[in-house]
Amino acid sequence: MELNGELNKLTTEGRNPATLNIDTLSTTGIVTLITQEDQQVLEAVQREIPHIVEAADRLADVLKRGGRILYMGSGTSGRLGVLDAAELLPTFGVGEDQVKALIAGGHRAMFVPVEQAEDDFEAGLRDFLAENPSSKDALVGISASGRTPYVMSALKRAKEMGLVTIGLTCNDDSQFSKVADVTIAAVVGPEVVTGSTRMKAGTAQKIILNTLSTTVMIKIGKVYQNFMVDMLPTNAKLVSRAENIVREVTGASLEEVRQALETSSYNIKASIVMLSRHCDLQTAHSLLDRAEGVVGRALQVQIG
C-alpha cells in the first residue's frame, strides 16, 4: 500500500483530463491529440535549462579530469541511456572508457522487457560497484518517476563516495532531488495513456540526454565550429563526411584532403591542423596536445 500511495502522487502516474475519451476518437483525432500533448514536452525541457547547464558543466569537468560518466536507468529510461552512450562513439569518438550506460536487467533488457529488474535495489548497487567507480566519476540516474530502486541504490552510494550525481526525472520533489547534486525535472504532465512514460516522459528524457551529452562533447573539444571533428569514419558515408569537413574548414582540394586523412589514419582534427598550419603529422599532434585537443586553439598555438 505504501508503494501504491507513493505512485499515486506522481504527476507521471496521473490521469490526463484531455484524453479521458481518447478510445472513442477517430484515427485523426487520436493522432492530433497525441501530437498536441507532445507540444508540452519542449516547454517542460526549456524550463529546466538552468539545471541542464549546471549538469553539463559538472559532467564536462568530470571528463576533463579523466573521470567517467555512468548512466543508470530501467525500462525506457535505461534504453534511452544506452542509446545516448552508444551513439557517442561514432559521433564523437567517446567510448565506454568515458561514458557507459547500465540498464536494469542487463543487455537482454534492451530488447525484452525485464520489468521486475527496476525494483532490485541490490542489483543496482551491485552493477554500479562492478564498474569500480571513484570520486572523480559521475553518475547520471534516469527515471521518469525519480524513485526507481535500481537507480536509487546506486545514486545514494555514489553520493556517499563523492561522485558528481545527476538525476533526470519527470516529477517535481522526487527522491532523486533529495540525493542528487543536480536534478533535472522536466514535468511534462500526465501521459496520453495513463502511466505510459515511454511517451511524453521518454521524449523529454531523449531531448535532455541529446542536449546534455552534445553540450558536454562541445565543452571538451569534440566539435570545431559545428563539425564533429572527433567522428570515427567507419563506413563510406562517414569517410565522405570526414572529407567534406576537412575540405570545408581548410579550403584544401579533395586530393590534398584525402592525402592528409590517409597520413593521419583519418584523424579529422590532425588533418585540419596539418593543412591549416602547413605542418607534418607529428607537429599537428603536438599542437593539439598543447591545446588540450581543441582545434580552434591548436590553430592559434605557436609552432616550435
**Residue 171 near residue 144, CB atoms below 8 Å:** yes
pLDDT of residue 220: 95
Ranges of each domain in the chain: 2-219, 223-298
> C-alpha distances in angstroms, 116 versus 7, 74, 77, 239?
16, 10, 14, 43
Give the tens place of pLDDT for each residue, 43-91: 999 999 999 999 999 999 999 999 999 999 999 999 999 999 999 999 9
For residue 156, which of 131, 186, 128 has the smallest C-alpha distance? 128
The answer on pLDDT for 7 being more than 90 is: no
Average pLDDT score, the chain? 94
How sure is the predictor about 149, in pLDDT bands with cuts at 50, 70 and 90? very high
Phi, psi torsion values for 227, nearest 5 degrees: -105, 145
How many Cα atoms occupy the beta-carbon half-sphere of 111 within 13 Å? 2
Percent of the chain with pLDDT over 90: 88
* Topology match between the domains 2-219 and 223-298: no
Distance CA 228, CA 217 (A): 9
Average pLDDT over residues 23-51: 97
- For residue 193 the three cell numbers come to 495513456
Q: Which residues are the active-site residues?
A: 87, 118
Give the tens place of pLDDT for each residue, 231-251: 999 899 999 999 999 999 999
Provide the residue count of the chain: 304
How sure is the predictor about 11, in pLDDT bands with cuts at 50, 70 and 90? confident
Give the tens place of pLDDT for each residue, 119-142: 888 999 999 999 999 999 999 999
**Residue 249 near residue 260, CB atoms below 8 Å:** no
For residue 225, which of 294, 283, 146 has the smallest C-alpha distance? 294
CATH class (in words) of the domain with range 223-298: mainly alpha
Give 285's contacts (C-beta < 8 A, 6+ positions apart): 270
- For residue 230 the three cell numbers come to 572527433
CATH class (in words) of the domain with range 2-219: alpha beta
Distance CA 147, CA 155 (A): 10
**Residue 51 near residue 186, CB atoms below 8 Å:** no
pLDDT of residue 119: 83
pLDDT of residue 2: 40
Distance CA 129, CA 121 (A): 13
